[in-house]
Structure 1
Amino acid sequence: MTRPLKQIHLAAHFPGVNNTTVWSDPASGSHIDFASFVHFAQTAERGKFDFMFLAEGLRLREQNGQIYDLDVVGRPDTFTVLAALAAVTDRLGLTGTINSTFNEPYEVARQFASLDHLSEGRAAWNVVTSWDAFTGENFRRGGFLAESERYTRAESFLAAAHTLFDSWQEHAIVADKDGGRFLADPRAGEFTYTDQHFDISGRFNVPRSPQGRPVIFQAGDSDRGRDFAAAAADAIFSRHSTLEAGRQFYADVKDRLPAFGRHRDDLLILPAATFVLGDTDAEAAEIAHEVRLAQVSPQTAIKFLEQLWNRDLSDHDPDGPLPSVDPVVGENTIARGRASVRMYRDPVATANEWRARAEAENLTTRELIIEVTGRQNFIGSASTVAEQINDLVQADASDGFILVPHVTPAGLDPFVDTVVPLLQERGVFRADYTGSTLREHLGLAENGSR
């Protein structure tokens, strides 16, 4: 029996603290001006996307003791931006990254419940953790939480927030005959939550929101992070987006769900992906090459190199071979506030892998960095890109993609104008919204179960 075609989920990521944006492109605009956020969000909504996504950095990154200014430096507060966007969009989901290490459950739950009311049910929360004392200094908590405890606190934080969201669940506000309003049950909003991280009790002051709870996203890739997602998340923001890696990640996480009393369809896998479009595949490939050169300038290549080597390499030639010296093992003191350095669990082994690849493919330092820092790219004509996306989703390498354009804010426009209609013609992407809340867009029940 042939399986019905899966419906593709699409979302858009307003580029955050990264080197995605090609600043030299004449179309590149501000990452702070509200008009940029409006253009981006309204384009995603015109394309009938599920949601737009905002990442967030809690401290300006540094490298070699200086502010890292080769890409996005800083950006306005996530809640403020999303609340403003709720007023200029009607159906688009609004997803924000909010930290569970340096915040408190009551405050975050109140903000998300408020956003869900303001947007009429379109709020989502990407739950993240922080491990570094450098970021913690902004909160006077530098080094207070060991890395091994970050998911324990995140689990407690989310459970406490759910207690707050649900504190109005069985209670209603009703109107009397004189037009007044009163609580049908005076216990509405009462809550108590106690564990090793939180001991809170009181009364939650935001009535139950349209979705009940915001949609929960998770982006961790460790074994503990995957378990956290399988237990509590509605969707995963994944970095595994090629066919083989995507299918392995997809199967691994889906197989974890039964242990937490959940079904395979209770969790969506949504990798991030960039794209480059052209009139032909050959033209798109040429544009993609120029984009990568712009994203990884000689200066950027050296900065990426320093993040692995953990030493000052400012005198290194980006057009020469990789350094002959090995990385400095231990705490990374060169790059601060950048989570990606934690991916290098064995820096020396990674450096040797890079050397072997550079030698085998005759790559300079910059060319090698371009290769190893590349994200999943959809490159080709609109027809080719539509086929690539559909093939990966139907092969269970993902349930859809979170697209990250290299030009802000107008970089999403060509995809919406050319690729989306082709997916709609294939019958794998909605022609229009059929629901009003983000949970409805994603096929999720009110409290997170299908």
Structure 2
Amino acid sequence: MTTDRTGKPRRQVHLPDRTAAPRRQVHLAAHFPGVNNTTVWTDPDSGSQIDFSSFRHLARTAERGKFDFLFLAEGLRLRERKGLIHDLDVVGRPDSLTVLNAVAAVTERLGLAATVNATFNEPYELARRFSSLDHLSGGRAAWNVVTTSDAFTGENFRRGGYLDRADRYRRAEEFVEVARALWDAWPPDRAPRTVRHSGAQFDLAARPALPHSPQRHPVLIQAGDSDEGREFAARGADVVFSRHGSLEAGRAFHTDVKRRLARYGRRPEDLLILPAATFVLGDTDAEAQEHAALIRRQQVSPATALAFLENVWGRDLSGYDPDGPLPDVDPVPDSELVQGWAHAGDRFGIAARWRAHAEEKHLSIRELAIEQTARQSFVGTPESVAAAIDAHVQAEAADGFILVPHLTPGGLDAFVDRVVPLLQERGVFRADYAGTTLRDHLGLARPGSVREEGAAS
């Protein structure tokens, strides 16, 4: 210990290590869960899933926590099983863009991300709707580009049916290409250009209805995990909504997608990877773990567990005990129950693997469904949750997380009040917004010069 001239201990001054690499910043977004296998809609503290006050509360909580954006999923058809509405869809599904246009009026900085389908929409109309949201919100719009794999949704539309995976991505890529051309076609101080496009999916000649919006293009989010989906993200997405949240799986996915960017002339920082994650907080880690186990039992009801297996088995399993063993029968070939679902390609292999796994670990149908539908989850005290999130980002397993609370609309409050301040103390999360647009929050550049040539020009 050193002393000063009076003999008193000299105060130690710790200067920052200027040779150390800067700590990676954590990005956070909030998912309004609606009613799905994440929400505990039977909880007494659960509010309305469609009343605007619920969207307003969650959005304002996220903005108070300085989150990047609010994320809304979308379903174009209520889920059904054997002609009956699934118990998770009994409250309905509002339109994402309609909700976010209203949320724009009660927030100031929070990004607004809508999931909208590229399989059953048209580029001109959707480009106009997102440009409108970007103008009305001052540059906070984002589009989560998704495709649809199930035939049931297709019955709601003129084309009917569904597209194979490769065709869905070909349509989505051409869709985004045309939308980008429309967003580019009315620069400041110039008359709008006519976008002429003739391709396999779309044939149009159109002028945009609005000039450049504050971001020019909304932030593009992509959620596919297949090889086609990863390539689609590397080619042009700004954010990947990933399901790979564990440290090991997250690092592998992060590395794979980021390395694909170079072939399209992009840098690693041009694309953010944000896995979905749930969280449960407690005063002790043990308390949080106990609460998390109870929540998972509430999230996966007996009916939900049976419906989950029916997607693979393709047969009515209502006669099976959800707390009993998995069916010892094989899936039904070409079952109408699973027409168009993602599992349909390898249902026999999936059933065999699940049956072997359940036998090895002595899992019931419900316990297997709980395990298979689990997301990355941060469970523990606020301190341990903050440390775990920071560790994932510093290890490049993610650039941040899209948090999915289990209660609507108050499920995010505790995280904002108890975890966000700890991330700020660690120096890995903003104390305030530095810019006004969603691209500012995410550190993403505004798209560059107008494209005068190309397939859509």
Q: TM-score, normalised by structure 1?
A: 0.92
1:350 paired residue number: 350
Q: What SS does the corresponding residue of 1:97 show, helix, strand or coil?
A: strand
Are residue 89 (structure 1) and residue 93 (structure 2) matched? no
2:202 paired residue number: 198
Residues 25-424 of structure 1 mapped to structure 2, 5 A cutoff = 25-71=43-89, 73-143=91-161, 145-169=163-187, 171-172=188-189, 185=190, 187-330=191-334, 332-335=335-338, 341-343=341-343, 345-424=345-424
Aligned-pair CA distance for 1:153: 1.0
Are residue 6 (structure 1) and residue 10 (structure 2) matched? no
Q: Is the 8 A contact 2:148 2:162 kept in 1?
A: no
C-alpha separation in 2, matches of 1:216 and 1:168 = 20
1:179 paired residue number: none
Distance 1:133 1:364, change over 3 A: closer
Q: Is the 8 A contact 1:12 1:53 kept in 2?
A: yes
Q: Percent identity?
A: 64
C-alpha separation in 1, matches of 2:362 and 2:417 = 39
Aligned-pair CA distance for 1:434: 0.6
Q: Is the 8 A contact 1:382 1:419 kept in 2?
A: yes
1:181 paired residue number: none
Task: Count the aligned residue pairs.
Answer: 431
* Larger displacement relative to structure 2 (11-20 or 35-44): 11-20
Distance 1:61 1:39, change over 3 A: same
C-alpha separation in 1, matches of 2:361 and 2:199 = 54
C-alpha separation in 1, matches of 2:267 and 2:88 = 43
Equivalent of 2:39 in 14, 18, 21: 21
Counterpart residue type for residue 166 of structure 2: S
Deviations 1:249-294 (A, max 9, x none): 1011001001111111110000000011111101101100110110
Aligned-pair CA distance for 1:247: 0.6
C-alpha separation in 2, matches of 1:321 and 1:40 = 39
Distance 1:60 1:335, change over 3 A: farther
C-alpha separation in 2, matches of 1:409 and 1:121 = 25
Counterpart residue type for residue 401 of structure 1: F
C-alpha separation in 2, matches of 1:354 and 1:127 = 30
Deviations 1:92-125 (A, max 9, x none): 0000011111111110011011000100000000
Task: Structure 1 unaligned segments of length 5 or more: list them.
Answer: 173-184
C-alpha separation in 1, matches of 2:194 and 2:328 = 63
Deviations 1:25-71 (A, max 9, x none): 11101111000000010000000000010010111111122111235
Distance 1:110 1:444, change over 3 A: same
2:16 paired residue number: none
C-alpha separation in 1, matches of 2:159 and 2:373 = 31
Deviations 1:200-231 (A, max 9, x none): 11321211110111000000111111111000
Q: What SS does the corresponding residue of 1:334 show, helix, strand or coil?
A: helix
Select the structure of larger CA radius of gyration: 2
C-alpha separation in 2, matches of 1:297 and 1:108 = 36
Deviations 1:120-165 (A, max 9, x none): 0000001111233321221111126444211111111101011110
* Larger displacement relative to structure 2 (188-197 or 437-446): 188-197
Are residue 437 (structure 1) and residue 437 (structure 2) matched? yes
C-alpha separation in 2, matches of 1:25 and 1:252 = 40
Counterpart residue type for residue 169 of structure 2: Y
C-alpha separation in 1, matches of 2:57 and 2:441 = 21
Deviations 1:280-325 (A, max 9, x none): 1011011001101101122221111211211101010112111111
Distance 1:163 1:59, change over 3 A: same
* Larger displacement relative to structure 2 (381-390 or 200-209): 200-209
Distance 1:72 1:93, change over 3 A: farther
C-alpha separation in 2, matches of 1:304 and 1:102 = 25
> For the aligned residues, what is the CA RMSD?
1.7
Distance 1:195 1:96, change over 3 A: same
Q: Is the 8 A contact 1:57 1:74 kept in 2?
A: no
Q: Is the 8 A contact 1:62 1:335 kept in 2?
A: no
C-alpha separation in 2, matches of 1:343 and 1:234 = 28
C-alpha separation in 1, matches of 2:176 and 2:220 = 9
Distance 1:344 1:134, change over 3 A: closer
Q: What SS does the corresponding residue of 1:379 show, helix, strand or coil?
A: strand
Q: What SS does the corresponding residue of 1:271 show, helix, strand or coil?
A: strand
Aligned-pair CA distance for 1:326: 1.4
Task: Structure 2 unaligned segments of length 5 or more: list them.
Answer: 1-18, 450-457
Q: TM-score, normalised by structure 2?
A: 0.91
1:176 paired residue number: none
C-alpha separation in 1, matches of 2:39 and 2:193 = 44
C-alpha separation in 2, matches of 1:296 and 1:144 = 28
Q: Is the 8 A contact 1:132 1:142 kept in 2?
A: no
C-alpha separation in 2, matches of 1:294 and 1:146 = 34
Q: Is the 8 A contact 1:28 1:408 kept in 2?
A: yes
Q: Is the 8 A contact 2:311 2:343 kept in 1?
A: no
Q: Is the 8 A contact 1:165 1:213 kept in 2?
A: yes
Aligned-pair CA distance for 1:343: 4.0
Distance 1:190 1:309, change over 3 A: same
Q: What SS does the corresponding residue of 1:70 show, helix, strand or coil?
A: helix
Aligned-pair CA distance for 1:73: 4.9
Aligned-pair CA distance for 1:361: 1.9
